[in-house]
A and B are shown apart, each in its own frame.
Chain A
Amino acid sequence: MPAILVEHISKQFSGVKALDDISFSIDNGELFGFIGPDGAGKTTLFRILTTLLLPDSGTAMVNGLDVVNDYLRIRQDIGYMPGRFSLYSDLSVEENLNFYATVFGTTIAENYELIRDIYIQIEPFKKRMAGKLSGGMKQKLALSCALIHKPSVLILDEPTTGVDAVSRLEFWEMLKRLKNSGITIAVATPYMDEASLCDRVALIQNGKLMAVSTPIEVTKTYPWKLFSVKADDIFGLLNDLRNFPGVHTVFAFGQAAHVSFKDRQTGEEKLVEYLQMKGHTGISVHSADANIEDCFMELMIKT
């Protein structure tokens, strides 16, 4: 039995389709990522899974329990971290954690093992009011609160949004450890680079799932020939590349541009020649493997 099973879920908000006939399943102990831009439908999907919203049509099961009829039992089993910081800012770190432990009928001591790795980092500040914590610490506290009742399924809505790069990395390390202890994790994120850290990912856009697969499988489906191009004047480079005959897409990735060609015959030499003719300096061109973001962009163009 999969931990989460969703079949043909649709949800509209005053005529706008937030979710459009979505189906997928998440296995027990899987770390499953939903990747997509803001407004793609991630939060709506998670609210349906956490029994906070009713789907217009379709069924969704968590641990074999229906989200509509068995909502009370599901609420015992899941840990949920909403996208917005939703703890009490006028309560201290310890009081927040204590409150959620009591509400779920447990104590901090009872499940301390589970949250120790995370909580130990914020424990020095346990007397501090939650509202005065930094972004990263708030997320750690929220995760601790979501975990304190030992849920079997953890649902995290954009846990790393607004968190610095180092804290993000730490956070994903923690998710890995939680996954290894057998907890099923569904996590939504707008950051493409986090996708490769998941067991499987679903690319979501405009309420539709565009691909559900392992990160590697997703990148393998990329159909075109791809180059990574660098030059000193990156802005001019992007413009010139777009005017190159036969070019399919040009996207900036940090200091480099990813250029794809539908025509597999296009070679590096031709590209270098063209750029030199345009007067660029410091040119470097490699053929590259597609990453998740390339695939995502490609899927967005198709739809």
Chain B
Amino acid sequence: MKRFLGFIVKEFYHIFRDYRTLLILFGLPAVQLLLFGYVITNEIKDARIAILDQSKDEITRRISEKVLSSGYFILDKNLRSVSEIGQVFRQGNVKLVLIFGPDFSKNLDKTGNARVQIVADASDPNTASILVNYIQGILSNYLISLNAEKIPMQIVPEVRMMYNGQMKGVYMFVPGLMAMLLMLISALMTSLSITKEKELGTMELLLVSPLKPIQIIIGKVFPYVFLAFIDACIIILLGNTVFGVPVVGSVGLLLAESFLYICMALSLGILISTITSSQQIAMMLSLVALMLPTILLSGFIFPVENMPWILQVFCHIMPPKYFITIIKSIMLQGNGFRYIAFETFIMLGFTLFFIFLSVKKFKIRLA
């Protein structure tokens, strides 16, 4: 036991003396979270629009007010003629132009049919369709309030977005980032630190020592369990304080599941280091074979359900997918262990499988 402790102390020396490792360990999670949280966002705030009001009556003014007070739009310019539309789009500030036809309220009263046109800049199709949806929502709301007394029957859908009422992107990114960063730190860092010993030749001396292979492996990995765990806490804390992502369920359960995921990622890192002896290959393997699938195939950014079946099969053998399901379930839905037992057992299975493979593949000799 004393030997083992001595080994762990040595590992901590390595980590704390290498400021680059430290920077990756603690700087990366914070920077990534802030980047993803602020940059990649599906929400739209303060989009600039122009309005061409050809009737200028009470109703069009009221609709314009509603649109502009919604918080999503800012009036860039009031247009005077149709010819100006192309010009404001070309200037590039305006994302959408709202056009009311002539005699708007007169037509509405007489025929019950008034015309409004929405012209959007679809060079960014996602933004354009979101903006159009917002405007349509505001218009139909107004119409309902206008007709409330006149029409006896109406179906009013009352939509409620559960677990993420404001449709915030961060709610999705925090679990995904956690899966990605813990994988990066655990798998990449351990595979690097083990292959480093091989490259420097110190593994030769460790092998000749009475340390057992399992002691060497656990000794190398232990500090990273600890550090990755701290990272998990940093991500949860930052997500909560900066972006207001709640932890509805049990924090203890969340941390326990994170711990299991960290162990799984570490055992993957060990596995990588047993099949290669160069740091470079270990890094490539960790990045390409682990990071990309974690980002693309875990449901982090792209929904698994929309992928072709062959990719869906791949998704189901990606451990991060299960972890993301688990933390979403705990953080956002507040579910207990009963609801995530299946995913937990799958992760446990992955962990045991990787450890079994690594111990089998760990070489007690040089060749």
Contacts and interface: CB of A to CB of B under 8 A. Distances in A.
A50 B207 CA distance: 9
Nearest to B367: A53
A101 to B, nearest CB: 8
Interface of B: 2-3, 5-7, 9-10, 13-14, 17-18, 200-202, 204-211, 364-367
Given A47-B366, A80-B205, A99-B10, 9 more contacts: A52-B204, A53-B365, A75-B210, A76-B210, A86-B201, A88-B14, A102-B5, A102-B7, A104-B210
Nearest to A52: B366
Nearest to B219: A103
A47 B204 CA distance: 9
Contacts of A84: 201
Interface of B is mostly: helix
A90 interface: yes
A78 B10 contact: no
Contacts of B17: 90
A98 interface: yes
Interface of A: 47, 50-54, 71-72, 75-76, 78, 80, 82, 84-91, 95, 98-100, 102-105, 145
B12 to A, nearest CB: 11
A219 to B, nearest CB: 35
B7 to A, nearest CB: 7
Contacts of B200: 86, 88-89
Contact of A51 (B3, B10, B201, B208): B208
A12 to B, nearest CB: 11
Contacts of A75: 207-210
A53 B14 contact: no
Given A53-B367, A84-B201, A95-B13, A103 B6 contact: yes
A215 B2 CA distance: 45
A86 B365 contact: no
B364 A103 contact: no
**6 shortest interchain CB distances as A-B pairs:** A102-B6, A86-B201, A52-B366, A84-B201, A80-B208, A103-B209
15 contacts: A53-B365, A53-B367, A71-B364, A72-B210, A75-B208, A86-B202, A86-B204, A88-B14, A90-B13, A99-B7, A99-B10, A103-B206, A104-B209, A104-B210, A145-B205
A53 B366 contact: yes
